[in-house]
């Protein structure tokens, strides 16, 4: 595996899933694998869970970790043929090439602008960095995908499912801020590959990009979608069509106990952080079918699996 | 030991002191103890000495350390039954439970608000975090205590005292800003337990909370208190009664050479950082009876003793 | 070697260069040397390349690294006999003495004020820190020198030169901001020692301090200076005479392909970050004679050599 930014980077996703399951059983089983190797993590946007879990995952493999906030005082130029006489002090060409010499693996987090859809959907920052990097790059969430989260989600479903092909519902949920589509996109991408029956439920105007909707069942009726569901995966995202906007929504899309009662005793999942009583009611997230804490714990094993393959 | 936030968390304080003395003699004596273990340190407030010394202590035990500033961009909700539709992006329930899965020990620093005494004295942030955490928590200074500092101070006194039961004076000193009572509270708590003759000297209005004053000798006459003292421990704190306020003080409470001459050739102690010529005169802190640098060095061994017991 | 802040700190520069060459051939050859030792890096000013490369260098030697931003919330008093009742919370005397107890080596980055030349040229912050420190200090760039960069540059020239005594031209180049003289000063200092034919080219008013100009060939005619050059080392700096100022410059001093054509097929060098098409044209920095990426990679081996000698 040369990089980990999307599903199609993974030569054998089933093997990667199996690696993650193995690490979940024995996190220290490969503690010599990364000896003498260094993961450099660059955060163009803030991170808590991904930062901690990926760092701990690297430590579990015996790697060293250097973490850099690129949010302050490091204003990079990404465009070519520019006279750099304003506020950009370094070009991505030098930055990526130089950091590659200090790292064995580079992790990058960068969020969508939510203003320039075409640039976001080219995953401009991530892919420009990769273009000039000379070591494997792992996405710690990019403008349009969050593959470490998606591998985690798949691991969570595979290790809890009671039926061979569960019904999985990815449902939009409310949020006071305009959020990227990355988690939703990425979850859909991996669930299309996984052996699940995927439904995407969203209010009118909130369809994901066509490439991520693909051949999922689609519903704008949340309650109808919940029927017979084995997993409810809630996430807010801003509109893809009216790009980055928060559109008026008629119904209340918060995940409540009443709605969960329509399902096949479904598990509740969310990538966290979550706005309680906005995205999901306390009774659901605190209920015994909630997987959110175990799901967050699985981030460790997903990251170990990915780092292991990038090193191996 | 399940946690380290106050004296009463320690089953056997004398044993913990002995551990610290042992580490002072040989800091690398347990360098395999923490192998494969990770300390995650969360700073809700800034830290220099505690951050560096605790990190180095963990490294001396073979642990890895992940340090997180929680001061920016991570606005936690601590209240229950709240509709999280404003500025709080994550609830402490998830935050503490999730971080617990990435850490073997969690260190937390959080300061007093100095505005809500009831909440501060419940040690609201620290104790709410602990309520939802599933691994041992070590206080890196909380709203009302700084137990790593106090163990350090006890170690410093025990390894320098010339008499079996020294007279120890905790004296208030001036400062331009309103400071928490944590260091003073905690020092008093541990000195009540230690085999010392404790006097607390403070201007009128600056008594600590009754639970921390306990049965100490009390004086509002600084010079009288200094007589026959073997240790002068200086620290500013804001008022507990008129909570968080800076009250007018008639006398000059700065620790000067003249005042030190009243003592039994006492050692001078302070937790640092210290305002020179406000809290203490240059001649005192730079004098040969000053222990402030050795005291700061002892932070290492106190932290090693605590981490060792939490791991063991 | 007791410290590394300037050329004259190095007892045997040729041996240090040889160490760096050895590490370039085998970076992990001394991976036990720093076992149990900790490098504490204090950044009074921002750093990317130096932070990452020095940290990775320390890791390659088996050291642990603690990195501290001293830019926010840690306002140090450097003057003596001061009543510290305003915004400075800690004196350098305590800060340096305390941190020394938690570190085996301390790295410090501090930039020139560009307003007080006398203070900058005493390297006030660095030298005051060293005065009160009790472990070796390594400069990660100071007000007037950047010796890790200069050792790197020497290593780069020594491992690429085709003639015994190359002609090396240090040329001033344009920049929109007022920059310190540190890189230029330090490069000149080390090149005076190295076996090269040094020319310093700068517009009128941009001479470096006399101690750094020393006996270099000097030219205010950039094109004339480039003739027969084997290495072009470009760097902007603000004026030393009219201290810290950006003076009007008649000619265009940007390094272009046309100017490079005047040289003896010279290599192009720059310490990075670099403003493209301001300091240097794309065609030059992207050309096959550009050494900037290899040069940045050499930072690792220079830092390993220095850390190795400070530990040894």
Q: What are the tens digits of pLDDT across the range C283-307? A: 999 999 999 999 999 999 999 999 9
Touching B: which chains, 3+ CB pairs < 8 A? A, C
Q: What are the tens digits of pLDDT across the range A201-221? A: 999 999 999 999 999 999 999
Could you give the angle at the alpha carbon of A159 between the alpha carbons of A157 and A164, nearest 5°? 70
Q: What are the tens digits of pLDDT across the range B77-126? A: 999 999 999 999 999 999 999 999 999 999 999 999 999 999 999 999 99
Q: Which residues of C103-134 are buried (b: 16+ CB within 10 A; e: fewer)?
A: bbbbbbbbbbebeebeebbebbbbebbbebbe
| pLDDT above 90 for C198 | yes
The residue of A29, A30, A43, A52 whose CB has the most chain B CBs within 10 angstroms, and thus the best one to mutate to test that interface, is A52
Contact A102 C56 (CB under 8 A): yes
Residues of chain C found within 8 Å of residue A82, distances taken between Cβ atoms: 276-277
| pLDDT above 90 for C56 | yes
Instruction: Please give the pLDDT value at position A9.
Output: 98
Instruction: Please give the pLDDT value at position C73.
Output: 63
Closest CA to A65 of B70, C104, C29, C56: C56
| pLDDT above 70 for C131 | yes
Arithmetic mean of pLDDT over chain B: 96
R_g (Cα) of chain C, nearest Å: 19
Residue of C nearest to A94 (CA): C293
Contact A82 C297 (CB under 8 A): no
Instruction: Please give the pLDDT value at position C47.
Output: 87
Token couple for B186? 């905690």
Residues from B contacting C (CB-CB < 8 Å) are: 28, 31, 46, 48-49, 51-53, 55-56, 59-60, 176, 272-278, 282, 286, 292-293, 296-297, 300
Arithmetic mean of pLDDT over chain A: 96
What's the gap in Å between the CA of C298 and the closest CA on chain A? 9
Domain ranges in chain C are 7-145+299-311, 161-290
Q: What are the tens digits of pLDDT across the range A250-285? A: 999 999 999 999 999 999 999 999 999 999 999 999
Domains C7-145+299-311 and C161-290 share a fold: yes
3-class SS string, chain C: CCCECCHHHCCCHHHHHHHHHHHHHCCCCCCCCCCCCEEEEEECCCCCHHHHHHHHHHHHCCCEEEEEECCCCCCEECCCCCCCCCCCCEEHHHHHHHHHCCCCEEEEECCCCCCCHHHHHCCHHHHHHHHHCCCCEEECCCCCCCHHHHHHHHHHHHCCCCCCCCEEEEEECCCCCCCCCHHHHHHHHHHHHCCCEEEEECCCCCCCCHHHHCCCEEECCHHHHHCCCCEEEEECCCCCCCCCCCCCCCCCCCECHHHHCCCCCCEEECCCCCCECCCECHHHHCCCCECHHHHHHHHHHHHHHHHHHHHC
Residues of chain C found within 8 Å of residue A77, distances taken between Cβ atoms: 276
Instruction: Please give the pLDDT value at position A72.
Output: 64
Q: How many A×C Cβ pairs under 8 Å?
A: 70
- What confidence category does residue B73 fall into, taking pLDDT thresholds of 50, 70 and 90? low
Residue matched to tokens 């493209």:
C276
Yes or no: domain B7-145+299-311 corresponds to CATH 3.40.50.1370? yes
Contact B275 C102 (CB under 8 A): no
Contact C278 A83 (CB under 8 A): yes
- What confidence category does residue B72 fall into, taking pLDDT thresholds of 50, 70 and 90? low
Residues of chain C found within 8 Å of residue B48, distances taken between Cβ atoms: 68, 74, 90, 95
Residues of chain C found within 8 Å of residue A68, distances taken between Cβ atoms: 48, 51-52
List, in sequence order, every residue forming a beta bridge with C65; answer none if it has no partner.
Answer: C39
Mean pLDDT of B33-53: 93
Mean pLDDT of B146-162: 98
Instruction: Please give the pLDDT value at position A73.
Output: 62
Mean pLDDT of B127-143: 98
Residue of B nearest to C75 (CA): B273
Contact B90 A278 (CB under 8 A): no
The residue of B23, B28, B44, B52 whose CB has the most chain C CBs within 10 angstroms, and thus the best one to mutate to test that interface, is B52
**Count of CB atoms situated within 10 Å of the CB of B29:** 14
Q: What percent of chain B has pLDDT over 70?
A: 99
- What confidence category does residue B47 fall into, taking pLDDT thresholds of 50, 70 and 90? confident
Residue of B nearest to A294 (CA): B98
Q: What are the tens digits of pLDDT across the range A113-134? A: 999 999 999 999 999 999 999 9
Token couple for C48? 């990317």
Q: What are the tens digits of pLDDT across the range A156-203? A: 999 999 999 999 999 999 999 999 999 999 999 999 999 999 999 999
- What confidence category does residue C312 fall into, taking pLDDT thresholds of 50, 70 and 90? confident
Instruction: Please give the pLDDT value at position B217.
Output: 98
Mean pLDDT of A222-239: 98
CA atoms within a 13 Å half-sphere pointing along the CA-CB vector of C211:
10
Are the C-beta atoms of A66 and C53 separated by less than 8 Å?
Answer: no
| pLDDT above 70 for C72 | no
Token couple for B142? 């909380």
d(CA C299, CA C55): 11
Q: Is the ipTM of this complex over 0.90?
A: yes
Mean pLDDT of C276-285: 98
Q: What percent of chain C has pLDDT over 70?
A: 99
Residues of chain C found within 8 Å of residue B55, distances taken between Cβ atoms: 66
- Residue B83 per-residue DSSP state: -
- Residue A208 per-residue DSSP state: P
Closest CA to B142 of B36, B44, B16: B44
Touching C: which chains, 3+ CB pairs < 8 A? A, B
Picking from A36, A68, A74, the nearest residue to C31 by CB comes out as: A36
d(CA B84, CA A97): 42
Contact A272 B83 (CB under 8 A): no
Instruction: Please give the pLDDT value at position A267.
Output: 98
Yes or no: domain B161-290 corresponds to CATH 3.40.50.1370? yes
**Dihedral of CA A111/A114/A116/A121: which sign?**
positive
Are the C-beta atoms of B249 and B202 separated by less than 8 Å?
Answer: no
The residue of B40, B82, B84, B132 whose CB has the most chain A CBs within 10 angstroms, and thus the best one to mutate to test that interface, is B84
Residue of C nearest to A75 (CA): C273
Cis peptide, bond prior to residue B168, ω within 30 of zero? no
Are the C-beta atoms of B58 and B85 separated by less than 8 Å?
Answer: no
Residues of chain A found within 8 Å of residue C55, distances taken between Cβ atoms: 66
Are the C-beta atoms of B103 and B40 separated by less than 8 Å?
Answer: yes
Q: What are the tens digits of pLDDT across the range A31-68? A: 999 999 999 999 998 888 899 999 999 999 999 999 98
| pLDDT above 70 for C209 | yes
Residues of chain C found within 8 Å of residue A91, distances taken between Cβ atoms: 273-274, 276
What's the gap in Å between the CA of B53 and the closest CA on chain A? 20
């Amino acid at each position: 595996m040369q990089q980990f930014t999307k599903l199609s980077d993974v030569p054998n996703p089933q093997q990667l899933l199996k690696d993650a399951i193995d690490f979940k059983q024995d996190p220290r089983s490969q503690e010599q694998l990364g000896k003498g190797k260094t993961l450099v993590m660059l955060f163009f946007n803030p991170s808590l869970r991904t930062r901690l879990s990926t760092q701990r995952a690297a430590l579990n493999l015996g790697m060293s970790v250097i973490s850099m906030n690129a949010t302050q005082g490091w204003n990079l130029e990404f465009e070519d043929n520019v006279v750099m006489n304003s506020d950009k002090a370094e070009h991505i060409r030098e930055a990526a090439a130089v950091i590659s010499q200090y790292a064995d693996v580079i992790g990058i987090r960068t969020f969508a602008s939510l203003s320039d859809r075409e640039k976001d959907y080219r995953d401009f920052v991530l892919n420009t960095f990769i273009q000039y990097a000379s070591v494997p790059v792992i996405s710690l969430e990019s403008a349009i995908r969050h593959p470490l989260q998606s591998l985690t989600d798949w691991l969570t479903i595979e290790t809890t499912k009671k039926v061979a092909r569960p019904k999985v519902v990815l449902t939009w949920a409310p949020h006071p801020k305009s959020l990227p589509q990355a988690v939703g996109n990425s979850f859909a991408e991996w669930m299309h590959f996984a052996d699940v029956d995927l439904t995407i439920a969203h209010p009118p105007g909130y369809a994901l990009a066509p490439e991520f909707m693909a051949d999922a069942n689609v519903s704008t009726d949340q309650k109808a979608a919940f029927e017979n569901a084995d997993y409810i995966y809630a996430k807010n995202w801003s509109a893809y069509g009216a790009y980055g906007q928060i559109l008026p929504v008629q119904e209340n899309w918060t995940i409540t106990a009443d709605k969960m009662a329509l399902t096949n005793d479904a598990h509740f999942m969310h990538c966290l952080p979550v706005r309680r009583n906005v995205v999901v009611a306390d009774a659901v997230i605190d209920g015994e079918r909630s997987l959110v804490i175990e799901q967050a714990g699985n981030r460790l094993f997903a990251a170990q699996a990915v780092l292991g393959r990038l090193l191996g």
